[in-house]
Amino acid sequence: MERFPEAPAPEAGPEWDELRALGEELQQHGAAVPVSADFAESLRGRLEERPWELRTALRERPLLRAAAALLVVSTIGAPVSALVLMLRPSPEPDPVLSWEQVLPPPEVVEEHRPELHVVPPQVPGFEQAFDADWEASLAQSNRTAVMQAQWYLAHADAAERTASTAPALLDWTQATEAQLIAEFERRALLGLTKPLPASLLERIEAQLALMPLADQAPALQAWHWILHGEGPPPVPQLFR
């Protein structure tokens, strides 16, 4: 679109007169253009055409009527159905969702008691295959397994409460001897004897050596048996 100058046109002047004359000449040559001969007749035909009306169209066209009915039903049907379902009393009470803890029956718990993973000290055909240290280590491992099984039998009902999974004593060099023994027992119960440093084991053994066998705590008796194979083997009553 071409922009017109912003300045207002002059009110009067010779140029205005010339332009006005040009405009008048333009007017003289006429704004009218003759219409065709059948213009009036054609126009009359268009005027007589009935304008499209929904009511008339519905009355005269069955297909349009069916489409309109379908449209109305589908438009109104959904909200009306929802309203009816909302107002109608439900034939069944609403389900109550709850959670019930299911515990395994006692016989299942019984079946899942730990097995004793005791390796026989002598395997037929391999009697001389391993050295004495290995056999001593194997015997100690077996005694640990027996002790753990006994401990489990004693504490089966409250195993989770008894066995602490807290980290091991951090700075054992600063601990008292009683703390060391308790820590050793705790680690043993958790099956953590292997990572014990050699110096710690030495201190524990020294502590155990100072105590008469009868005065040792029942658990320490068990560990004495584990470490050295001395004393009575542990029984479940030892841990109670």
Partner 1 sequence: MEPGSEDLLVRFQAGDAAAFDQLVSEMAPRLKGYFLRQGAQNATAEDLTQLVFVRVFQARKRYQPSGRLDAYLLRIAHNLWIDSRRRKRFLTGGDDLPDAVDPAPGPEADAVAGDRAAVLHAALERLPADTRELLELAVLQRLPYQEVAEILDIPVGTVKSRVYYSLRKLREHLPALEPESDHDGPSDGTLS
Under the rule (CB under 8 A), what is the footprint of partner 1?
1-2, 4-5, 7-10, 15-16, 18-27, 29-36, 39-40, 42-43, 46-47, 51
Q: Which is nearer to partner 1, 32 or 87 (by Cβ)?
A: 32
The HSE-up count of residue 157 (CA atoms within 13 Å, CB side) is 3
Residue 29 C-beta: closest distance to partner 1, Å: 4
Q: Which is nearer to partner 1, 47 or 166 (by Cβ)?
A: 47
Residue 48 C-beta: closest distance to partner 1, Å: 10
Q: Which is nearer to partner 1, 22 or 213 (by Cβ)?
A: 22
Q: Which is nearer to partner 1, 18 or 135 (by Cβ)?
A: 18
Structure tokens at 143: 């005694």
Q: Which is nearer to partner 1, 14 or 120 (by Cβ)?
A: 14
Residue 28 C-beta: closest distance to partner 1, Å: 9
Structure tokens at 158: 């409250």
Q: What is the spatial distance between Cα 21 and Cα 160, in angstroms, rounded to a whole number?
A: 114
Cα dihedral across residues 84, 87, 88, 94: positive or negative: positive
Residue 13 C-beta: closest distance to partner 1, Å: 10
Q: What is the spatial distance between Cα 59 and Cα 183, in angstroms, rounded to a whole number?
A: 98
Write out the H or E segment, with its range, that includes residue 60: helix 54-60
Cα dihedral across residues 11, 12, 16, 21: positive or negative: positive
Q: Which is nearer to partner 1, 8 or 93 (by Cβ)?
A: 8
Q: What is the spatial distance between Cα 56 and Cα 61, in angstroms, rounded to a whole number?
A: 9
Residue 87 C-beta: closest distance to partner 1, Å: 46
Q: What is the spatial distance between Cα 229 and Cα 223, in angstroms, rounded to a whole number?
A: 9
Question: Exposed (0-12), middle (13-18) or buried (19+): which is 156, by Cβ within 10 Å?
Answer: middle
Residue 16 C-beta: closest distance to partner 1, Å: 7
